[in-house]
Amino acid sequence: MYKELGIDENIINLFEESEKELESIFNEVDKTCDINSLKVLKAFQDNKISDAHFGSTTGYGYGDIGRDTIEKVFANILGAESALVRSQFISGTHALTVCLFGLLRPNDELLSITGTPYDTLHEVIGIKENASSLKSFGIKYSEIDLVNDDFDYEKIKEYLINNKVKLIEIQRSKGYSTRKSITLDKVRKVIEEIRLVDKDVLIMIDNCYCEFVEVDTPLKYGADIIVGSLIKNLGGGIAPNGAYIAGKTNLVDLCAERLTVPGEGAEVGPTLGINKSILQGLFFAPSVVASALKTAILTSKVIEKLGYVASPKFNEKRADIVQNICFSNSEDLIKYCQGIQMGSPIDSYAIPTPWDMPGYTDQVIMAAGAFTQGSSIELSCDGPIREPFIAYQQGGLTYQYGKLGVMKAVQNLINNK
Ligand SMILES: *Cc1c(COP(=O)(O)O)cnc(C)c1O
């Protein structure tokens, strides 16, 4: 059967052997999945989800009980006072943008304490010139780099003592970088340190790719507001688009007023028939995230056996679903990504090539044979064509399809040798 997919005996053996060595690590992933599933089920029951919530509104979308209850379910699961869960967010970046524009005012200062943020935020902040950036509205920006993959605690505290910062951004997932992603332990520690010197600064977390990887959420440790995409973890591969913002009610309300209209906020926003998909996606999300994690762990193990450097290592504690593979040359990176595409259910015949994507500085190659355009909870692999030529792989709706995709990618990489 594998031969029909063009996968050789030696690849099958390599994967089977690796899988056996990962049993106990996979068990840990399943335990987290158990608890997160329990949380989801409890939130559905506590909010009395029923058929009525699958209904749809059009136009202004007043009185959409499905939408309003979905937001309560998300808030419960994320440990938030309130949540805004909307398909009017066109991406995670859009939700982050709404959050920043919603909370910051002219002359306020935004401080990133995880170094330079994700590529698509550069024009939002004004790190790269844009006439509509936060900077163009007089919002100041500064950043403090991580040191040895951890926060620069002393520098952060000193900065906060000497400057009036309105909002701190913490980006947990690594984006296109080689740093480690930020575990909840580190989030907790840095928030404790920040609160020693500044009780008021707002702490916003870019939580993309991190939901359900661990049991707790950053809100439990004192973050004020968190943001993520529904075509990543919490959408479970079913939500057709959208994103969420969750946290303190007064802050979420400010974001709602920015997303829609001052004076209307979260009261408007038609759901156009997606309520059931959002709920069903959330219901699947714990096990989809577990499948994505197992796919990442298997990839790390296999790729290391082949002599490449993987980060995180197969047995390292994970904060997100992203797996870095360091290829050191563009050709291997491109072949691997093309192999992921070949192993996909959609557009498997297409061959991705590097291109100038809007929002990104370098050329980027993106493999995504996904049901939902741009969905990266589905198996996907991408990377900017710049040194050290790293593939960023994430997703896998089921472990079995994730494994097959990675097998095909490894085969394509080896065929090229
Ligand atoms: C995916 C991601 C985003 C948002 O990306 P979109 O493609 O706009 O949804 C933001 N920050 C990080 C760290 C991400 O991984």
Give me ligand 1 centre to Cα 23, in Å: 31
| pLDDT for the residue 276 | 98
- 238 in helix, strand or coil? coil
**Measuring from atom 8 of ligand 1, which residue has the nearest CA?**
93
- 355 in helix, strand or coil? strand
β-pairing verdict for 202-206 and 167-171: parallel
- 257 in helix, strand or coil? helix
Look up residue 302 and give its two tokens: 């296999």
pTM greater than 0.95? yes
> CA-to-CA distance for 364 and 176, rounded, in angstroms?
10
Q: What type of residue sits at position 7? A: I
**Region 55-272: CATH code:** 3.40.640.10
Residue 254 dihedral angles phi and psi, to the nearest 5°:
-60, -40
**Measuring from atom 6 of ligand 1, which residue has the nearest CA?**
92
Q: What are the residue boundaries of the structural domains of the chain, listed by start?
A: 3-37+283-415, 55-272
Give me ligand 1 centre to Cα 381, in Å: 14
Give me ligand 1 centre to Cα 208, in Å: 6
Q: Could you tell me the end-to-end alpha-carbon distance of the chain, in angstroms, rounded to an integer? A: 24
Burial of 329: CB neighbours in 10 Å, binned 0-12, 13-18, 19+: exposed
Closest-CA residue to 394 (of 325, 317, 346, 333): 325
> CA-to-CA distance for 85 and 81, rounded, in angstroms?
13
Which of 116, 120, 209 gets mutated to test ligand 1 (max ligand atoms within 8 A of its CB)?
Answer: 120
Q: Which residues of the chain have pLDDT under 70?
A: 359
> CA-to-CA distance for 31 and 382, rounded, in angstroms?
29
Dihedral (CA of 171, 231, 92, 278) sign: negative
Q: Which atom of ligand 1 is nearest to the CA of 209?
A: 15
Which of 112, 118, 180 gets mutated to test ligand 1 (max ligand atoms within 8 A of its CB)?
Answer: 118
- Using a 6 Å cutoff on CB, does residue 120 contact ligand 1? yes
Helices and strands counted in the chain (H then E): 11, 12
Q: Which atom of ligand 1 is nearest to the CA of 173?
A: 13
- Using a 6 Å cutoff on CB, does residue 320 contact ligand 1? no
DSSP string, 56-88: ---TT-TT-HHHHHHHHHHHHHHT-SEEEEETT
Q: Which residues of 352-368 are buried (b: 16+ CB within 10 A; e: fewer)?
A: bebeebeebeeebbbbb
> Residue 248 pairs with which residues in a beta bridge?
none
Which runs of consecutive H residues, i.e. helices, occur in 182-274?
Answer: 184-197, 249-259
Which of 123, 232, 233, 322 gets mutated to test ligand 1 (max ligand atoms within 8 A of its CB)?
Answer: 232
| pLDDT for the residue 328 | 86
- Using a 6 Å cutoff on CB, does residue 114 contact ligand 1? no
Give me ligand 1 centre to Cα 333, in Å: 21
| pLDDT for the residue 358 | 78
CATH of range 3-37+283-415; options 3.90.1150.60, 1.20.272.10, 3.90.650.10, 3.40.228.10: 3.90.1150.60
- Using a 6 Å cutoff on CB, does residue 206 contact ligand 1? yes
Give me ligand 1 centre to Cα 92, in Å: 5
| pLDDT for the residue 124 | 98
Q: Distances in Å between the alpha carbon of 299 and those of 200, 303, 379, 392?
A: 42, 6, 12, 11
